[in-house]
Amino acid sequence: MAGSELTNVRSPRVKAARRLTKRAFREQDRRFLAEGPQAVREALKLDGVTLELFSTAEAELRHPELITEATLKGVPVHRASGEVMSELSQTVTPQGLLAVCRLLHVPLEEGLKGKPRLVAMLAHVRDPGNAGTVLRAADAAGADTVVFTDASVDPYNGKCVRASAGSLFHLPVVIGAPVGVAVRQLRERGLRVLAADGAGKHTLDDVDLSGPTAWIFGNEAWGLPEEILAEADDVVRVPIYGQAESLNLATAAAVCLYSSARAQRVP
Amino acid sequence: MAGSELTNVRSPRVKAARRLTKRAFREQDRRFLAEGPQAVREALKLDGVTLELFSTAEAELRHPELITEATLKGVPVHRASGEVMSELSQTVTPQGLLAVCRLLHVPLEEGLKGKPRLVAMLAHVRDPGNAGTVLRAADAAGADTVVFTDASVDPYNGKCVRASAGSLFHLPVVIGAPVGVAVRQLRERGLRVLAADGAGKHTLDDVDLSGPTAWIFGNEAWGLPEEILAEADDVVRVPIYGQAESLNLATAAAVCLYSSARAQRVP
């Protein structure tokens, strides 16, 4: 434990962490906040990612293994009062553990190196909770990389980090790539680029998904714009067998990604 | 338009609707609230379901077709001030339209009549947003019925209605059935009962889903209890190909339901 308990919400250390709740400061400081035991556990698994850890006394008692792990790794652990933790937390019920991490994303070229077989691309996705849930589903489905295009939400947004349930730390994430550039690079690497959209001519059931595939997922409310649909090799919709108008973004993405995962594995 | 604009949040009409935000009063009055144009549109498609409609002047201008439809169907339409709408609304940004509807659920026997081929059962699901998203996915995947067991959230909860995106009005919903009773009835009707759980011995990829199937989905945090796993014919997990610990409930349910839908349709 480095020093005594932080109780002053205006201390420089607390203010330096607090400002990371804003995107502009995250970009400037090249850091973000990862909240809760699950995120902290995953962050600590990666060398050099966790820069500082804030913990309440209660959380220390509940998760001694994380405090030990951080200490062993030379990560400064700051004991924080409940008030300080509330100041830093972006949740209604703070879980008492919060890591300051260095940004994780990689350039597009690096994200697509090797022979990626399944890539998820988020274009114009605005809701951070949805983005995090798609990231989690992409990780679960064994995707090699997730690309957040230039018009999508920041994956380091607290809600996105939380919804990703640790997956932000599991696979390469690319940020800010223009859709056109990403699509070209994916295609050059032999991936078929499919846009998931309710207006698709084909359904998931009648496309062959056994080859390397990149999926583009669009905005929650209005799907994908024409120019992106035009960039894709095909526009594919999840078939609706009942009366629902559509699926929500994250469930549609999970169904698409798992269809690919299955087709690539099950003969 | 019945009478002049409602501006008093304490008027009996507003109070009678307002109390429907509480489960006990919904059960007592046999009514619930459906908020927003999408829910109102779906409610109005069903005869005798919408009992009253509240609308702001702005929403009337934006959705004149819904006001006309309600009026044609003899549904009393109350013009409400913004303040009254905020009082009734359970969202941060009220959309200006809110219907009072009669409860829709049916007894288990009725929900399972005919020859159901795909049933979704929610056991111990506590988060109304998740429950609504599963309901929407079940509708999209062509499920015949959704069963909320006795320990699950109330599907008439405002967040569940909203997350269902109209699906609550699309397919038979059963409420409060004990798991054991529901499982027996499903099995008697020739459905195979599969519990979706991360601890499953089989994965989605190695079970035959072409026959009539009922899926049981459990709690967000701790899955399904032993006694429910024991009731099921099989426990099946969504395979995790990456490093994610699990999928979230709604995405896992969507993947399972769509695997069934596909297996039942695609030879």
Which of A227 and A2 is assigned the larger pLDDT?
Answer: A227
Please, which pLDDT band fits residue B3 given cuts at 50, 70 and 90?
A: low
Contacts of B200 (CB under 8 A, 6+ apart): B234, B235, B236, B237
Question: CB contact, 8 Å: B209 with chain A?
Answer: no
Spatial separation of the C-alpha atoms in residues A211 and A213, rounded to whole Å: 6
As for the ipTM of the complex, it is: 0.93
> Helix A128-140 to helix B249-265 angle, to the nearest 10 degrees?
60
Check pLDDT > 60 for residue B143. yes
Which stretch of DSSP H or E encloses residue A101? strand A97-102
Q: How far is A255 from chain B (nearest CA, A)?
A: 5
For B125, the token pair is 């699901």
Closest-CA residue to B135 (of B104, B165, B105): B165
Question: Angle CA(B5)–CA(B9)–CA(B13) in degrees, nearest 5?
Answer: 70
- What is the average per-residue pLDDT within A156-178? 96
Please, which pLDDT band fits residue B219 given cuts at 50, 70 and 90?
A: confident
Q: B172 vs A32, A73, A247, B138, CA distance in Å?
A: 45, 55, 19, 11
Check pLDDT > 70 for residue A254. yes
**Fold entry, domain B108-265:** Alpha/beta knot (3.40.1280)
Check pLDDT > 70 for residue B238. yes
Per domain, the residue ranges of chain A are 12-102, 108-265
Beta carbons of B255 and A250 less than 8 Å apart = no
Query: Average pLDDT of chain A?
Result: 94
Looking at chain A, which residue has its C-alpha nearest residue B141?
A241
Beta carbons of A167 and B241 less than 8 Å apart = no
Which of A29 and B223 is assigned the larger pLDDT?
Answer: A29
Beta carbons of B244 and A165 less than 8 Å apart = yes
- What is the average per-residue pLDDT within B17-33? 97
Asked if A215 and A135 touch (Cβ cutoff 8 Å), the reply is no
Spatial separation of the C-alpha atoms in residues B122 and B135, rounded to whole Å: 9
Which stretch of DSSP H or E encloses residue B35? strand B31-35
Please, which pLDDT band fits residue A3 given cuts at 50, 70 and 90?
A: low
pLDDT per residue as tens digits for the range B47-100? 999 999 999 999 999 999 999 999 999 999 999 999 999 999 988 888 999 999
Looking at chain B, which residue has its C-alpha nearest residue A262?
B205
Looking at chain A, which residue has its C-alpha nearest residue B237?
A140
Check pLDDT > 80 for residue B2. no
Domain A12-102 has CATH 3.30.1330.30: yes
pLDDT per residue as tens digits for the range B158-197? 999 999 999 999 999 999 999 999 999 999 999 999 999 9
Of B38, B171, B250, which is closest to A242 when you measure between CB atoms? B171
Q: How far is A118 from chain B (nearest CA, A)?
A: 11
Which stretch of DSSP H or E encloses residue A235? strand A234-237
